[in-house]
Chain A
Amino acid sequence: MKIPLQVYLFAGGLRAMARFLISSEKPHIFGSIEAIVDTGSPTTILGVPDLKRMRVSQIQLRDLESRKEPHAYGGGQLKTKILQGAKLRFGEYFECVMPIQIPVDEITACNQPTILGVDFMEVNKLKFVFDPIKREAYFESSEQQNI
């Protein structure tokens, strides 16, 4: 099973990008996302612009568990809450439910995009293949998953 990714020259470098639908029942979240695949990030973090696009308010997030330690992110520090049951759907290829980090109010001016981190690959037992010369990238698994 392969999940194709896109490779674009974006914000100063070639980036592997994933597009997917994200949804959650409580708090209610639904929307489409473009995330940068970042093997340097241990966690998947929803970007503030995407949070705003999906009109998720800090009030909706108040019952979520807070992550104790802040993340270093874009040269600053970022406090997050943990959304345990986020469903990520990659078109017809793949879907999964996993915890993702959601920024909290101190950083509402942040422009950083959504990051798909190593936890996504670990939870779903995926390999990441990135060829910047051919501008090809994909996730690959040896396991079958029916959706």
Chain B
Amino acid sequence: MEKQELQLLKGFERDSQWFHNNIDKLRKKNFTGKFVAIANEEPIASDKNIDVVIKTLEKEDKNPAYIFIEFVYPKGFTLLL
């Protein structure tokens, strides 16, 4: 179980890294303002509403809890926490 957990995390880390390194490409491909799910270093689902993205993943028998999903903020937008 422990090994499986670490593998899940490694896949998630890889897809997170891909997202951050390719954020400009994602913006150019019209993902701005949407949640994007990334798996194996490519976008597999997107929508303005994360619930739609989650349902799309579930329909494909994927568990969204293990999949990297992030919102693509517009360039120049600053998120204050």
Contacts and interface: CB of A to CB of B under 8 A. Distances in A.
Whether chain B is bound by chain A comes out as: yes
A92 B6 contact: yes
Interface of B is mostly: helix
A113 B70 CA distance: 9
Interface bracket on B: 20 to 34
B8 A12 contact: no
A19 B66 contact: no
B64 A55 contact: yes
Interface in B18-44: 20, 23, 35
Contacts of A6: 16-17, 20
Contacts of A8: 20
B73 A31 contact: no
Interface of A: 6, 8-13, 17, 19-21, 30-32, 34, 36, 38, 40-41, 49, 52-55, 73-75, 89, 91-92, 111-113, 115
B65 A30 contact: yes
A53 B69 contact: yes
A13 B67 CA distance: 24
Contacts of A75: 80
Given A19-B9, A19-B16, A21-B9, A12 B54 contact: no
B50 A112 contact: no
A108 to B, nearest CB: 9
Contact of B65 (A34, A38, A54, A92): A54
A87 to B, nearest CB: 11
B81 A74 contact: yes
Given A38-B81, A49-B35, A49-B71, A91 B65 contact: no
B65 A55 contact: yes
B81 A19 contact: no
Interface in B49-64: 50-51, 54, 64
A34 B12 CA distance: 9
**Most chain A CB within a 10 A radius of its CB, from B6, B76, B79, B81:** B81
